[in-house]
Amino acid sequence: MLAKSTEYAIRALVFIELLNQEGNRPGVKQIAREIASPEAYTGKIMQILTKQGLVRSMKGRGGGFFFDHATRPLSLQKIIRVMEGESYFNKCGLGFNGCDSHAPCPIHSEYITAKKELFDLFEKQTIESLAQNVKDGLAVLNRPM
Amino acid sequence: MLAKSTEYAIRALVFIELLNQEGNRPGVKQIAREIASPEAYTGKIMQILTKQGLVRSMKGRGGGFFFDHATRPLSLQKIIRVMEGESYFNKCGLGFNGCDSHAPCPIHSEYITAKKELFDLFEKQTIESLAQNVKDGLAVLNRPM
DNA sequence: GAATAAAAAGACCTTTTTATCTTTATTTTG
DNA sequence: CAAAATAAAGATAAAAAGGTCTTTTTATTC
């Protein structure tokens, strides 16, 4: 449903939010360790997210990743849009290029309806709300042993 | 949302159903032409579908693909299960291995709810119902020019 | 049974995604 | 300013998905 890199991105950003709230700015190494992702690859993903302005970064000693007013609130939809591209949201369910209400594929309208609930979720849920779930003990960011 | 090969599979099967209803059994060449897919690759996909018993085939002159009582009805869910694997339906939204209600990822329960509508659609819609849409002129199987 | 037609099978090739390693640029600290 | 820490960038590699080509097997028709 989501590419692995998108999953890493979301997990990383939630972790950053959690640490920011404690007054810390995690670096790639710490992020990768905590969300169980490959370190260098996670670095690449963070580059994309930073370049696209979804999160901010500081180089050098004491540097790391953090959110500020310009980046908040950050919905899952924004992240998915950056990581998967616009087509994620409007691609035809059977892979037709010209699929629309004029010449619909056989599952066109039902598919749109079904996707809507999923996309609503992606719009409503934010890095902040997901982080809150973790803080409240309602969710975990890494597998318990 | 679905792999390209899964999209090809669904389109191919709908086309086969349409031709079966006219008393014909299309071969790989005709299928690929009609659903606008690469011929050899489509052949590979048909092999999988046939081997898994979702459709039947005959070799030799006059051969081709067709459905019979043993294969009907054929829901999208069955096709997706064969093409994408079981994990398509129960994979965690953020990619965690051990994600369940005991140690949920931050979007666990909402994600399950949102997916349900999509999966219901996949269960309800069948190759027969999709073919009917096309026959009724409500949908097309290839792009109009 | 020879010719033909078609699916099946196997060996490749290409592109995309995921992942690693090395080097460079930037920032902080002493 | 030197050392250390860290993100950014670049080159490469490994794995998966998508795609092609050739040969083999099976069936039909004459």
Tens of pLDDT along B47-88? 999 999 999 999 999 999 999 998 899 999 999 999 999 999
Q: For position A142, what pLDDT does the model report?
A: 77
Provide the pLDDT for residue A143: 67
Q: Is residue A140 part of a domain?
A: no
As to burial, measured by CB atoms within 10 angstroms (0-12 exposed, 13-18 middle, 19+ buried), residue A56 is middle
Low pLDDT (below 70) residues in chain B: 143-145
**Max CA distance (Å), chain B:** 57
Q: Is residue A32 part of a domain?
A: yes
User: Tell me, what's the pLDDT at A118?
Assistant: 94
Q: Report chain A residues whose CB lies below 8 A from the CB of B144.
A: 98, 103
Look at chain B and report how many structural domains it folds into: 1
What's the whole-number mean pLDDT along residues A30-42?
Answer: 96
- Domain annotation covers residue A141: no
Average pLDDT in chain B: 94
Q: Is the pLDDT of residue A145 over 90?
A: no
pLDDT for the residue A56: 97
CATH of the domain at A113: 1.10.10.10
H or E stretch at B66 = strand B64-66
Measured CA to CA in angstroms, residue B44 lies from A89, B80, B88 at distances of 29, 16, 21
Q: What is the mean pLDDT of residues A130-142?
A: 91
On whether residue A144 sits in a domain, the answer given is no
Kindly report whether the peptide bond that precedes residue B73 is cis, defined as omega within 30 degrees of 0: yes
Q: Give me the helices (H) in chain B, please.
A: 4-21, 28-35, 39-51, 76-84, 87-90, 108-124, 127-135
Among chain B, residues having any CB pair with chain A shorter than 8 Å are: 1-2, 4, 7-8, 10-11, 14, 76, 91, 93-98, 103-108, 110-111, 113-115, 117-118, 120-121, 125, 130-131, 133-134, 138-144
Q: Residue with CA nearest D5 C1'?
A: A61
Q: Is residue A41 predicted with pLDDT exceeding 80?
A: yes
**For residue B62, what pLDDT is reported?**
93
- Does B109 reside within a domain? yes
Q: Is the pLDDT of residue A95 over 80?
A: yes
Bridge partners of A66?
Answer: A56
Residue B97 tokens read as 């291995």
Residues 30-49 of B with CB under 7 A from strand D: 37-41, 43-44
| CA separation for the pair B9, B18 (Å, rounded) | 14
The distance (Å) linking the CA of A57 with the C1' of D3 is 22
Return the pLDDT at A98: 83
CA–CA distance, A65 with A45 (Å, rounded to integer) = 12
**Residue B143: inside a domain, yes or no?**
no
Give A58's DSSP letter. Answer: E
Q: What is the pLDDT of residues A73-82, one digit of tens each?
A: 999 999 999 9
Domain hosting A106: range is 4-135
Q: Residue B64: beta bridge partners?
A: B58
Q: Bigger pLDDT: B9 or A109?
A: B9
- The whole-number average pLDDT for the span A114-133 is 95
Q: How far is the CA of B29 from the C1' of D29 (A)?
A: 21
Contacts of B97 (CB under 8 A, 6+ apart): A143
Place of tokens 């990619």: B95
CA B46 to chain centre: 11
Q: Are B56 and B26 in contact (CB under 8 A)?
A: no
pLDDT of residue B132: 95
Q: What are phi and psi of A66, to 5 degrees?
A: -160, 160
Is B141 within a domain? no
B124 within a domain of the structure (yes/no): yes
Whether residue A104 is predicted with pLDDT greater than 80 in this model: the reply is yes
pLDDT above 70 (res A26): yes
Q: Could you give the angle at the alpha carbon of B10 between the alpha carbons of B9 and B15, nearest 5°?
A: 100
Å between A100 CA and D22 C1'?
Answer: 40
Average pLDDT for residues A85-104, to the nearest whole number? 91
